[in-house]
Structure 1
Amino acid sequence: MKNNLLSILIFLCCAVTTQLLSQRVWAQTASASMTLEQLNAIKAIKIANLDKDTYFKSGGFILDRYEERPAYVFTYSDGITRKIYLYKVFSAEDTKELGLLAIYQNGKTNEVKPFVIPGASADRKAWDAYIDDLKYVGEKEPGLMSTLTFVLSREMAGLLSGNNGKSDGGGTKKKEEYNFCFAPTAPVTLSDGSSKPISTVQVGDVVMGYNAATKTFAPTNVTRFNTHQGNFALAAVWLTPTQELTADTRNTPATLTLLEATANHPVLTAAGQKPLGNVTTGDILFRMENGKLVTYRVVRTEKSVRSVNTVYNLSTESGAYLVHETVVMDK
């Protein structure tokens, strides 16, 4: 009897919290009304790698990791690790927000269960389907309802305290929120001075980091690895050592070093952090040569040199790492 009452209470809390969360989130954005057909289509989307696939398009929808947050992780006394991943869902046609996708993962069986949370203006049938999923799917999996309720309550508390993400006036999530990335072949400098493509870096790898306060290089751990699918334009800057910048060598191709990234990825300049797309000719960037900090001057810039379909970025303990042996910042 007590277990039944507890299940009912958790179910009610989850349903009420979801409704409040949807009202708070979509009151601030231009949202579209989710239909039952859209809800079922979103539930059917398969995500290959929940930890890495934080932004992608599928079946007429855009899925974007909620506030770029990692999974909520729960370990109960039964020893099973449970995770909840949250995605915002947009219509690919007009980029209007439709709702949220919460994905529950059982760490023992690796089974996943999706829950599509409609927006406040969604069709009644979509809301009925979500409630049915809570009742007939959520209650059958031990630990699912409590984890989902906690996550939604936590996000609701954040919204009520004012700690919520912002959208632009049209309700579309600004692209600079996730376009901080490098092409797959961008070389990341490792702790031993060698390098490897950023696409092959893994969480836990030790790369060369940079401490802006002490202006020194030191090994640092990769704490997060992100990849995004789509069509991404790369900005570029060409650099030359400041000590070689003379009238005779200013335009010597052999002295130029190329750095490419999405325009909004931050790099370290003598004037502080700047998005790569805002770097201008004459700006000073920093590189590592023989383990020492060397200044390079920008002699040429391009807003868009080429496009790639997949981009990558890292998070590190130091907050900065090296690409093309040039100091770049975590996003």
Structure 2
Amino acid sequence: MKNNLLSLLLFLCCAVATQFFSQRVWAQTATATGMTGDQWKAIKAIKIANLDKDTYFKSSGFILDRYEERPAYVFTYSDGVTRKIYLYKVFAAEDTKDLGLLAIYKNEKSGEVKPFVIPGANADRKAWDAYIDELKYVGEKEPGLMSTLTFVLSREMAGLMAGGGAKAEESGDKKKEEYNFCFAADASVTLADGTSKSISDVTPNDVVMSYDAKTKTLVPTNVTRVDTHEGNFTLAGVWLTPMQELTADTRPILTKPMLVEATANHPVLTATGRKPLGNVAAGEILLRYDAATRQVVTYKVVKTESVIRSVNKVYNLATKSGTYLVGDVVVLDK
């Protein structure tokens, strides 16, 4: 009887904490409609390969973004078992509409992972019913799950109510384009045969050129999805020139620097790893395909600009390999 009462109390606390937390978070970015029952099922089915490293990614038409960029909540109970809770905000990839939260429970001893899709305040009743059922029929079967989830949601709610959620409010005010990693319609995508076409003309299943960072070789890859977004988007740019001209010739630069432009947050592959285009500084090294040698060569950034132009429609490709070439420069999906 005592255990049943404790389980009921935890269930009620978790449900109440969830409702308050969702109202506080989604009041900042309220939308006319929220998560549907079908979306709830689709989000629950998403598999995350590495919970500690995968803090932002797109899957099955959704964007998952680690809540406030926080690491996992970690709990070690008297039974010696370490339990973790990971929190992600969930957005619709098509229009970056806020849908809710994904809380993932992990038992480090058993390896058991249980996702809980927490609808936003404006969600469909079916989504809320599904979440409550999960709390009742899944949460009670795993010792320690309900208490850890209740603690995390209650603590986040308390932080928001106390004004400690400034970062969350700032995050809630993000413009849609902050989640849209894209290029203008005329951006030139390098195909697997070395030719190119505008990104606006690329279609799913097209075979484009990709770069394998492990083998440092060019490989073909299939386009799995083409994302398009309409609005007002500012493009940043970097100007590149071949490294060999800078190092092997004492005369002024012979080749006119080439421009690479995209939204400032779109990641490119530099000599030191992944970096948003807007964070790339003069002097850094990017990788570019040389059509004459069919090899990847190094180009040096000689100039950066935070604003090149504005466009009302942008595009991004999702590929099987995670990379493709724009203007023959190696870029990443997101």
- TM class by shorter chain equals 0.5 to 0.7
Please tell me whether residue 174 in structure 1 is matched to residue 165 in structure 2.
no
Task: Tell me the residue number matched to 1:293.
Answer: none
Task: Tell me the residue number matched to 2:38.
Answer: 37
Task: Tell me the residue number matched to 2:223.
Answer: none
CA contact (8 A) 2:35 2:124 kept: yes
> Matched residues in 1 for 2:135 and 2:160: separation?
23
Query: Any unmatched runs of 5+ in structure 2?
Result: 182-209, 217-225, 228-234, 267-275, 286-299, 309-325
Please tell me whether residue 74 in structure 1 is matched to residue 75 in structure 2.
yes
Cα displacement string for residues 151-204 of structure 1 (whole angstroms, at most 9, x for unaligned residues): 111111221122242246686483499xxxxx99899xxxxxxxx99xxxxxxx
Distance 1:2 1:235, change over 3 A: farther
CA contact (8 A) 1:97 1:172 kept: no
Q: TM-score, normalised by structure 2?
A: 0.59
Give the letter aligned to residue 25 of structure 1. V
> Matched residues in 1 for 2:123 and 2:43: separation?
14
- Determine helix, strand or coil for the equivalent of 1:85: strand
1:142-291 residue pairs with structure 2 within 5 A?
142-162=143-163, 163=165, 164-165=167-168, 166-167=170-171, 172=176, 174-175=178-179, 236=238, 251=253, 263=264, 277=278
Task: Tell me the residue number matched to 2:131.
Answer: 130
Distance 1:84 1:170, change over 3 A: closer
Cα displacement string for residues 107-158 of structure 1 (whole angstroms, at most 9, x for unaligned residues): 1121111111011111112111111110110011000001101111111122
Cα displacement string for residues 1-37 of structure 1 (whole angstroms, at most 9, x for unaligned residues): 2222221111111100000000001111043321111
Task: Tell me the residue number matched to 1:6.
Answer: 6
CA contact (8 A) 1:84 1:147 kept: yes
- Determine helix, strand or coil for the equivalent of 1:98: strand
CA contact (8 A) 1:103 1:114 kept: yes
Distance 1:278 1:41, change over 3 A: closer
Q: TM-score, normalised by structure 1?
A: 0.59
Distance 1:134 1:279, change over 3 A: closer
Aligned length: 241
**Percent of pairs identical after alignment?**
67
Q: Cα distance, 1:74 vs. partner? A: 1.0
Task: Tell me the residue number matched to 1:322.
Answer: none
Cα displacement string for residues 239-264 of structure 1 (whole angstroms, at most 9, x for unaligned residues): 9xxxx9xxx755378xx9xxx99845
> Matched residues in 1 for 2:301 and 2:116: separation?
49
> Matched residues in 2 for 1:167 and 1:35: separation?
23
- Determine helix, strand or coil for the equivalent of 1:157: helix
Residue number among 301, 304, 313 corresponding to 1:301 in the alignment: 304
Task: Tell me the residue number matched to 2:117.
Answer: 116
Query: Any unmatched runs of 5+ in structure 1?
Result: 178-182, 188-195, 198-229, 266-274, 288-296, 312-331
Task: Tell me the residue number matched to 1:140.
Answer: 141
Task: Tell me the residue number matched to 1:101.
Answer: 102
